[in-house]
Amino acid sequence: MTAPDFMPVLSAGAHATPKDGMCLLECASLLAGEPFGMGPDCVSKSLCPWAWEANDSSEGAERQELLSLLPRLMGTTDEVDSFAIYLAAETSYVERAGSDAGDCARAALIAALDEYDRQTGRTEADYATITPEQFQALAELTA
């Protein structure tokens, strides 16, 4: 995914409205046409905790880079071995102990996504498509 010039700005925590800010999962909820919130139906509940941690542990440009993971997060289901996803993410997190918390959390989220893809056979061709126009609309909501 190529990032357009206009991107929503991610921030830590939960937000009441997009004008108050938005985290990675709140962004996913809006892109999927769901109510604004941190537990969107378009993202597997096995992946949500890792997305929350990565969003809230990252800062600045590193947090913004999480937007590139939205196509992988969106469209995931709960029809997976959630314990295996937990183990993959936790193992990745522990292996980086002592590193920057944001780096650990982002690596754990990617490990969880990799395990999800391994279990489901998903490839990049199966990931959600997000258009520049959708990102522009989100950016305007947070402006």
What is the secondary structure of 74-101 as a DSSP string?
A: TT--S-S-HHHHHHHHHHHHHHTTTS-H
Number of structural domains, the chain? 1
Q: What is the pTM of this model?
A: 0.90
Specify if 2 maps to a domain: no
Domain span including residue 132: 18-142
Residue 1 reports pLDDT greater than 70:
no
12 domain residue, yes or no: no
102 inside domain: yes
pLDDT tens per residue, range 28-79: 999 999 999 999 999 999 999 999 999 999 999 999 999 999 999 999 999 9
The whole-number pLDDT of residue 132 equals: 87
Is the pLDDT confidence value at 4 over 80? no
Long-range residue pairs from 35-44, CB within 8 A, at least 24 positions apart, any chain: 38/14, 42/73, 42/74, 42/75, 42/76, 42/128, 43/73, 43/74, 43/76, 44/76, 44/77, 44/78, 44/80, 44/82, 44/85, 44/116
Question: Any idea what DSSP says for residue 22?
Answer: B
- Collapsing DSSP to helix, strand or coil, 143 comes out as coil
Burial label for 129, CB within 10 Å (0-12, 13-18, 19+), is exposed
Furthest-apart CA atoms within the chain: distance in Å: 39
